[in-house]
Amino acid sequence: MNNEEISLSASVTFVPEKSSLATVDHGDIHLTPNERRLLELILSGKCKKETIFEEIWLNQGMIVSESSYHQLIKMLRRKLQNAGLPGSIIKTIPRYGVVLAPCETQDSEVACPPPEEPDNASCPTPVDCPSLPAITAESMKTPSRQYGTLLAALCSLLIILPTLVVVCTADTPQAFQENLYVDGVMFHLSSLRSVDRQALARKRHALPAGINNVYIASNGPKVFVAQCEGELSQEGKCGYEYYSSY
C-alpha cells in the first residue's frame, strides 16, 4: 500500500507515512509497525488469516501462535476506539480472517456515502435490503413491533448469508502447506524444495520426548523451527530454533 492518507470517517484519517491515526477530537494516535501493517492489509482487502501471518510474521522470519494474531487485532481495535471509531468496525470471521465491517454511525462511515433521504435510508448492510410494500392505513392495524422484528430478521439474514458463503467456499491456504510423517512425528513444511528426508529422519531421532509436531519455515538462507507438544495453532508447548547457512 502507498503512503496516501485514507479517510476512515469524517473525523479520523489513517496516515501511513506517520504510522498514526489523525483525529479531530483526540489528536494523533500512534500505531506500532505491526498495527499499521495489519490496518494496511485490511484496507487493501488482504484479510485472510494465513495472508496476515505471512505478511506480518513469516516474511520476517518469525513463527508465532494464534494468540499473537488475536492480540494484534485486539490492540488495533483499541486504537480505533481511542480515535472515536466503533471497535466493531473490524470483525473476526472464524477460519477465514478479518473484514472491515459496515459503519454503524454516520461519523464512522467507511466508504459509505450518506443517504440523500434519511427518512427512506436503506439498512446499513453489505447488501441492499429488498423492496418492501407500502404501508397502507389497513396494514397499520398490524402491530408495529411485529413488523419491525420481521424487518430486523430479514436484514440480519442478508448480513450473515454473504459471510457464510465466503467461509464455506473460500480456499484457505495454510502457512505450512506440506506435511511429512516421520516415525510418529508430523513435520509441517512451508515448501518441499530442497527437503532432505534423511536429515528429517535424523532430526526426528534427536527430538526430545513428547514432541509430536515440528514446523519448519525458511526465508532464504534463514530457517526457523518450532518443536511442539501438540499443534502450534492450539497453543501447544513449543520450543524454537534458528539456523542460518551463512
The residues with which 22 forms a beta bridge, in sequence order, are 13, 28
- Reported residue count of the chain is 246
User: Is the pLDDT score of 13 beyond 50?
Assistant: yes
**3-state DSSP assignment of residue 237:** strand
Placement of cell 503512503 in the chain:
3
Alpha-helical runs (H) found in 32-142? 33-43, 49-56, 66-82
* pLDDT on residue 113: 35
User: Is the pLDDT score of 8 beyond 70?
Assistant: yes
* pLDDT on residue 151: 74
Q: Sorting pLDDT into bands at 50, 70 and 90, what band is 52?
A: very high
Average of per-residue pLDDT values in the chain? 74
**3-state DSSP assignment of residue 101:** coil
d(CA 239, CA 65): 12
Model confidence, pTM: 0.45
* pLDDT on residue 51: 93
Rounded-to-10 torsion of CA 182, 185, 188, 191: -20
From the list 240, 194, 245, the residue with the least C-alpha distance to 222 is 245
Q: In sequence order, what DSSP letters do the residues of 18-60 get, joined into one string? A: GTEEEETTTEEEE--HHHHHHHHHHHTT--BHHHHHHHHTGGG
User: Is the pLDDT score of 199 beyond 50?
Assistant: yes
Question: In the numeric block, which cell numbers belong to residue 63?
Answer: 513463527
Residue 236 neighbours by CB under 8 Å, 6+ apart: 213, 228, 229, 230
Number of other CB atoms surrounding residue 208 within 10 Å: 8
Distances (CA, A) of 179 to 63, 186, 200: 17, 7, 12
What share of the chain has pLDDT > 70, as a percent?
66
Q: What is the DSSP letter of 106?
A: G
d(CA 129, CA 123): 6
Residues 49 and 97 sit within 8 Å (Cβ to Cβ): yes
Number of other CB atoms surrounding residue 81 within 10 Å: 14
User: Is the pLDDT score of 117 beyond 60?
Assistant: no
Q: Give the pLDDT confidence of 33-48 residue by residue, as tens digits.
A: 999 999 999 999 888 9
Domain with CATH 1.10.10.10 in the chain: 6-100
Element (H, E) at 240: strand 237-244
CATH architecture observed for domain 6-100: Orthogonal Bundle (1.10)
